[in-house]
Amino acid sequence: MTACIALVVIGPSQHMLDVILLSFMWAGLALAWNIAGGYAGLISLGHAAFFGIGAYTSSILTVKAGVTPWIGMWVGAVAAAVIGAILTLICARLRGPFFILSTLAAAEVVRIGALNWTSVTGGAEGLMILPTPSAMNMVFGSKTTYAMLMLIYMVVTYVVTKAIEGSRYGYYLFAIRDDEEAASAAGVNPLLARTGAMCTSAFLTAIGGSLFAQYFLFLDPTNVISPELSFQFALIPALGGLGTAIGPVLGAFVITPLSELLRSYFGGGAAGLHLAIYGAVLIIVMLYFPSGISGALMRHLTWKGDSAR
Amino acid sequence: MVAMTTIGQLVFSGLLIGSIYALMSMGLTLIFGVLRVVNFAHGEFLMFAMYGAWAFVTYTGFNAYVACLAVVPAMLLYGALIHWIIIRPGLNKPHLVVVFATMGLSILMQNLALLVFSADLFDVPPLNAGRSITIGPFYAKLELLIGFGVTLLATAVIHVVLKSTYLGKAIRATVQDGEAAQLMGIPVPRIFLITFSAGSALVGLSACVMIPLFSVFPSVGLNFVLIAFVVVVLGGMGSLEGALLGGICIGVVQSLSGYYVAPAYGQMFFFILFLLVMVFRPAGLMGRRGEATLGMLD
């Protein structure tokens, strides 16, 4: 990762820069998801809703009202956090698959809503942001600036994650995730703690959504609120290692370059092959390394350490 | 008077399409009821089976209902294979493992289909030259009526198997208390294998019923699996009768809201319905109380 940061400074090829930039973004989004999914045990397959709310709020404010995305992204983030809080208050008592499916359904409601509320969202035709570079409108001419922006986003989500992990609140979350009854008997309010985690996660995901919109300058409901996107948010931390700060980063920095590499290697000749390989890798990792890449690495390192002693 | 006939027709159409939704959800609810896992690749199982049915019809010239003679056994074997490779190794691990592994499987299957068949839509010629037939005051497609019949038949057969055969008794015992069943000499791992395969075979059956009605393409599974999730949760996860009832509810809601509000919002209605059920009656219409909220899954 340090190498990636160094590369951005040196000035790599445009395609390479694209991959690094996307890796930063995915790492940030995966970290954000992990706060709810990995730390609080709220496995959500509806985070695309928060991502979409963030992307749409800042973009609509920019396009229709001329509000700069520098302000708009906070509005979107607060909106997503509120929705996240409501969803958790309603659904946190549901267990296992029931919670997962509820988040999926909630995201679908948001997606279909965005698709049909044409007057505001532009519906299926999507929404275009003017591509004239201006720092005021968070539209930049060079990819390096975007890469820096994504890097900052990743670092912020990482710091937030680390802060939660080391705090009293983090221990509350772990306790609830591992044994809710014992935790509430010990005086932790599970509903409140979980709602907080979901709010934080939704807030950060929405910021990621705004940044995504500012980079691609185009958004439609199928791209920013699809179930596939929600799956992606969950799968990267799962691959990297749930409930750790480094896991989602590792996951993003393995998956993003790998899928870009496979895609450019196989090209248009074999559409879907890179995703088929991705699916197979996912099955193998989940079955044989349930604690993800970071878990496997950790075990390897401790094993080495033991034999050295 | 006119309005009444319209409503009658809408409810009737909803009932028929809903029964097909019920049929495609039965495999999912059966597997959940016994193994306590959600197969996130359920939609892709359906997609594979629909391609199978399509290929059978296209290359042999028989109609889709004959195809089930080939597709159902093929899906039975495929289910056994997936159970052996993915489900069984994942069962004794945290339940997230199966969730993520079956999500991986769904990505794998979807993109294999994309590789082989490309993103084109395939369909089979309709029966009866696509004309509707009349039953009393109502109109219906022949394929929908056959689908309704197949659903009722399948529900009845599974019901009888579960209630009055030795295998059915063993399955019900496993559902009630897996450990106790094991101690009574029921081969629980084999019950899991049989249930997962049977659930997949049911998907095969529903694919044969659906291929004359819907086109098949690699990502078709996602549309249907979302409906199936709503159906099984509405009916109560693990309940067969619940799935039938849930499917019909969804069909009628879709049909009425499509006509009176807007077709585009039809799906939104049943996701909202789903969330309302989760809030007010998480066990669904016929599920076991407390299943969704108390930790019976862990």
Confidence of residue B129 (pLDDT cuts 50, 70, 90): low
Q: What DSSP letter does each residue of chain B carry, written as one string?
A: -HHHHHHHHHHHHHHHHHHHHHHHHHHHHHHHHHH----TTHHHHHHHHHHHHHHHHHHH---HHHHHHHHHHHHHHHHHHHIIIIIHHHHTS-HHHHHHHHHHHHHHHHHHHHHHHTT--B--PPGGGG-EEEETTEEEEHHHHHHHHHHHHHHHHHHHHHHHSHHHHHHHHHHH-HHHHHHTT--HHHHHHHHHHHHHHHHHHHHHHHTTTS-B-TTHHHHHHHHHHHHHHHH-TT-HHHHHHHHHHHHHHHHHHHHHT-HHHHHHHHHHHHHHHHHH-TTTTTSPTTTTTSSTT-
Report pLDDT for A157: 93
> In this model, does residue B296 exceed pLDDT 80?
no
> In this model, does residue B294 exceed pLDDT 50?
no
CATH code of domain A2-308: 1.10.3470
CB contacts < 8 A, A to B, total 150
Cβ contact B282–A98 (<8 Å): yes
- Tokens matching residue B3: 């309005």
Report pLDDT for A76: 92
Q: How far apart are CA B60 and CA B51, in angstroms?
A: 14
Closest chain B C-alpha to A5 CA, distance in angstroms: 30
Q: Does B38 reach chain A within 8 Å, measured CB to CB?
A: yes
Smallest CA-to-CA distance from B205 within B166, B154, B156 is with B154
When mean pLDDT is compared across B19-23, B110-114, B142-146, B281-285, the lowest value belongs to B281-285
Cβ contact B233–A91 (<8 Å): no
Cα nearest neighbour of A290 on chain B: B97
Chain A interface, best mutation among B44, B82, B96, by max A CB count within 10 A: B96
Cβ contact A279–B109 (<8 Å): yes
- Comparison of pLDDT for B113 and B236, the residue scoring more: B113
Task: Write down the residue that tokens 């928060």 correspond to.
Answer: A50
* Tens digits of residue pLDDT in A168-177: 888 888 888 8
CB neighbour class for B53 (10 Å; exposed up to 12, middle 13-18, buried from 19): buried
Report pLDDT for B298: 32
Low-confidence ranges of chain A (pLDDT < 50): 307-309
Domain boundaries, chain B: 16-118+141-280
- Comparison of pLDDT for B206 and A118, the residue scoring more: B206
Chain B interface, best mutation among A86, A225, A282, A293, by max B CB count within 10 A: A282
Closest chain B C-alpha to A107 CA, distance in angstroms: 9
Report pLDDT for A272: 76
Report pLDDT for B289: 56
Cβ atoms A236, A82 nearer than 8 A: no
Fold of B16-118+141-280: ABC transporter involved in vitamin B12 uptake, BtuC (1.10.3470)
Produce one character per residue of B57-84: b if its CB has 16 or more CB atoms within 10 Å, e if not: beeeeebbbebbebbbebbbebbbebbe
Report pLDDT for A309: 40
Could you tell me the end-to-end alpha-carbon distance of chain B, in angstroms, rounded to an integer?
A: 54
Q: How far apart are CA A151 and CA A252, in angstroms?
A: 13
User: In A51-189, at which residue ranges do the beta strands (DSSP E only) sit?
Assistant: 127-128
Chain A interface, best mutation among B86, B91, B271, by max A CB count within 10 A: B271
The interface predicted TM-score (ipTM) is 0.84
When mean pLDDT is compared across A105-119, A196-210, B237-251, B278-292, the lowest value belongs to B278-292
> In this model, does residue B252 exceed pLDDT 80?
yes
* Tens digits of residue pLDDT in A199-217: 999 999 999 999 999 888 8
Cβ contact B292–A242 (<8 Å): no
Smallest CA-to-CA distance from B266 within B276, B278, B258 is with B258
Report pLDDT for B295: 38
Cβ contact B90–A287 (<8 Å): yes
Confidence of residue B216 (pLDDT cuts 50, 70, 90): very high
